[in-house]
Amino acid sequence: MDRLTALRVFVCVVEQGSLSGAGEKLEMSRAMVSRYLAELERWMGARLLHRTTRRLSLTGPGEEALNRARAMLALGEEMEHLAIRSDEAPKGQLRITSSYSLSEALLVQAADDYLARYPGTAIDILLLDRTVNLVEERIDLAVRITNDLDPNLVARRLGTCHSVVCASPAYLARHAPLQQVQDLALHNCLTYTYFGKSLWEFQGPDGPESVPVSGNLSANISNLLLAATLDGAGISLQPAYSVQTHLESGALVPLLTQWQPKQLGVYAVYGTRKQMSPLLRSFLDFLIARMADDPLWQAR
């Protein structure tokens, strides 16, 4: 029996919730999935799953085996495609996830430059404006903008994300001017689903202030809100890296500049420090050095 494959089948069955689901995911027949499970249980000398016609559930030994199986699979993948010695260039593939806007502003160009430097590497970027389970999606690295980190994951700070309240000249020509941050409550504010949808936070001349905001458009991708802001639909709170060129061209106007929107951290998030692959470590060092040279990502 290929024990590594058996462990992979076991983990997949648990994650998919059924033998048939695991078979479809692994492109394996249901009978083969069942055979691998039976062989694994025979090898371990314990039943790993309670199986009924409607559902599967882990036994006590199964719960313990699941954690160890995941760790072994991670180690196996690392040994399979990555091996960097001190005298070798990085090799292998990284699977990375990030938001659309951050990938466009930072990650795609960084990955392109890294790949040009190390031809033996490959990078697969998954664009999502939501948090994903790194283990289930088999993702090596997530680059996230957040101040709310998952304590079960390892995070390394890469830089700071600054935000800008802005609107187009066309919108401002049709609406009353803003003098105080509380005036935002009287305007059409375009909001981001995963951050500050109903409350924008600022650090102002007299300390912290929070403003309840609302509007007729909300989206889970900040790039859509940026496009709507450029079209004059309303006011939005945008990452500075997304609007910098539009502010310089005059297509957007920064508002309430005496009030600093809440700053967020830019983090590299991954599963475990102990099993960090040499390729991941190499790419992280490359990304950190790149961002350290750009004032856009530094704390002010």
Tokens for 258, please give them: 């005496």
In the block, tokens 């995941």 appear at 70
The class that CATH gives domain 163-262 is alpha beta
104: its two tokens = 């466009």
What is the rounded distance in angstroms from the CA atom of residue 224 to the CA atom of residue 236?
11
Domain boundaries, the chain: 3-81, 92-161+265-297, 163-262
Please count the other Cβ atoms lying within 10 Å of the Cβ belonging to residue 255: 19
Segment 7-57, tens digit of pLDDT: 888 888 888 888 888 888 887 888 888 888 888 888 888 888 887 767 788
CATH of 3-81, one of 3.40.50.10190, 3.40.50.300, 3.30.450.90, 1.10.10.10: 1.10.10.10
Residues 223-282: pLDDT tens digits? 999 999 999 999 999 999 999 999 999 999 999 999 999 999 999 988 766 557 789 989
Tell whether pTM > 0.95. no
Q: What is the pLDDT of residues 216-228, one digit of tens each?
A: 999 988 899 999 9
Q: Do domains 3-81 and 163-262 have the same CATH topology?
A: no
Mean predicted confidence (pLDDT) in 147-157: 81
Lowest pLDDT segment from 81-95, 131-145, 179-193, 222-236: 81-95
CA–CA distance, 101 with 119 (Å, rounded to integer): 26
Tell me which CATH code domain 92-161+265-297 carries.
3.40.190.10
Q: How far apart are CA 15 and CA 9, in angstroms?
A: 10
- Dihedral sign from CA coordinates of 153, 159, 163, 169: negative
User: What are the start-end ranges of the H helices in the chain?
Assistant: 3-16, 19-26, 30-44, 60-81, 100-102, 108-117, 169-174, 222-230, 240-249, 278-292
